[in-house]
């Protein structure tokens, strides 16, 4: 049962853009919960090493909704190539997983 659920990870540099995407995911019931936290990212981009302040976003949802979550992020994200990673939940508190099931469309 738990492999029906996942966490989708993305990042944002623009706070208002991140809020817009998060609200869209929640309003469309594509996510049960979205957690955000500030991070410092260092990475290679276009031949250079860069370092930027970003916001890390953890989206709790059902695996069956991943394609729609990705679609919303891609349609609204300001990055040319946004981070979008699907991580299956392999186990978890049954009551919490049931809550995700109830909250997602």
Spans of all domains in the chain: 2-103
Query: Could you tell me which of 57, 59, 14, 19 has the C-alpha nearest to residue 37?
Result: 57
Assigned CATH for 2-103 = 3.30.70.120
Q: 68, exposed or middle or buried, with CB in 10 Å at 0-12, 13-18, 19+? A: middle
For the entire predicted model, the pTM comes to 0.94
Question: Would you say 56 and 39 are in contact if contact means Cβ atoms under 8 Å apart?
Answer: yes
Q: What is the pLDDT along the chain (105 residues), one digit of tens a residue?
A: 557 999 999 999 999 999 999 999 999 999 999 999 999 999 999 999 999 999 999 999 999 999 999 999 999 999 999 999 999 999 999 999 999 999 998
């Amino acid at each position: 049962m738990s492999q029906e659920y996942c966490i989708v990870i993305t990042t944002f540099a623009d706070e208002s853009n991140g809020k817009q995407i998060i609200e869209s995911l929640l309003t469309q019931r594509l996510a049960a919960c979205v957690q955000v936290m500030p991070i410092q990212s260092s990475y290679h981009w276009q031949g250079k090493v860069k370092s930027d302040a970003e916001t890390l976003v953890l989206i709790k949802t059902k695996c069956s909704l991943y394609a729609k979550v990705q679609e919303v992020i891609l349609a609204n994200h300001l990055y040319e190539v946004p981070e979008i990673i699907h991580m299956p939940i392999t186990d978890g508190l049954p009551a919490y997983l049931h809550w995700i099931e109830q909250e997602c469309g």
